Amino acid sequence: MNTLADNQANTPLLESAPTRYPPPYLLLLDLYVVLSNLPSLPGIFLPWRTSNPRAELYPYSLGNLSAILLGGLLILVGLLSLLLLPAWLFLPGVVWLCWFAGLAGVTWVLAWVLNGDEGDVVVSSGRYVRGEGAEEGEDEKWFFVNGVVTGEFWLKGNVDEIERQFGRRVWGVHNRSYGLVLDLLQCLIQRDLRYSSACIRSLYRNLRTALLELDPSSPTISKPKHKKIILLAHSQGALITSLVLDMLYADIPTSLLSRLEVYTFGNASNTFN
């Protein structure tokens, strides 16, 4: 007797996969989805007050307050950047270019303060590691990719919290934030135009290295160093993961990829292989 899951698995989709549509159509469709859900965006910043000292919005943390301030400034600059787009119709070219250069410079400075150096991998503290071989990731290696509006301080809190929950050292591949407005724009471009950001390239390098790394204690046998590679991805991080998986499928044997486990939450991707 066929189960509901079997019937669903054997039923073809009524509509074709998103990648079969022209990218401009997908971009406009996603833009409509974003605009129609604008009233829900403030929910990203809820709850406003929390008594949990490990929460990102805990009000008595200097790191949290500085991240919130920088994020607010980047949102303001991002909104001004949107106003700049139609301004080229009536502003002199030199004035428009100066305005653009000024906003780009301010965005870069604020983003650098919020995120640190580009391509950084943030490693959890190691205070909550449990189990033999877990300290250096000998049997398993854990990665995390953050979502939108996450600076270096919050990423450090994320990987420490994951370590606290699972007792494993966690390597956080930083998806740099440029403020909510520009982060959402980047999501649209990555979803529909397959844009390869620095985070995508960094995650690809780190996963590929972990999958191909051999156990140095067995020089005569090609034995993988890690039994499992665990990847956790949130929001835009899941979108980044979907693009990286496509790259890995192209040049990593299936026998090695079978050791990779991927877990996503709040997945922003429109396809996932």
Q: Where are the domains of the chain?
A: 24-265
Please give the residue that has the higher pLDDT: either 42 or 148: 148
Of all helices (H) and strands (E), which one includes residue 183?
helix 180-193
Instruction: Tell me how many degrees the CA angle 44-47-52 measures, rounded to the nearest 5.
Output: 120
% of the chain exceeding 90 in pLDDT: 52
Q: What is the mean pLDDT of residues 79-92?
A: 83
| pLDDT category of residue 4 using cuts at 50, 70 and 90 | very low
- The rounded distance, in Å, linking the Cα atoms of 142 and 169 is 7
Q: Does the pLDDT of residue 16 top 80, yes or no?
A: no
Q: How many CA atoms lie within 13 A of 143 on its CB side?
A: 29
Buried b (16+ CB within 10 A) or exposed e, 19-57: eeeeeeebbeebeeeeeeeeeeeeeeeeeeeeeeeeebb
- The rounded distance, in Å, linking the Cα atoms of 123 and 172 is 6
Burial (CB count within 10 angstroms: exposed 0-12, middle 13-18, buried 19+), residue 95 = exposed
> What is residue 223's predicted lDDT score, i.e. its pLDDT?
82
Token readout for 264 is: 């996503």
For residue range 186-228, list pLDDT tens digits in order: 999 999 888 889 999 999 999 999 999 888 777 666 788 889 9
> What is residue 17's predicted lDDT score, i.e. its pLDDT?
61
For residue range 126-183, list pLDDT tens digits in order: 898 876 555 555 689 999 999 999 999 999 999 999 999 999 999 999 999 999 999 9
Q: Does the pLDDT of residue 5 top 50, yes or no?
A: no
Helix axis angle, 180-193 relative to 236-251, nearest 10°?
Answer: 30
Q: Does the pLDDT of residue 3 top 60, yes or no?
A: no
pTM: 0.86
- The rounded distance, in Å, linking the Cα atoms of 233 and 240 is 8
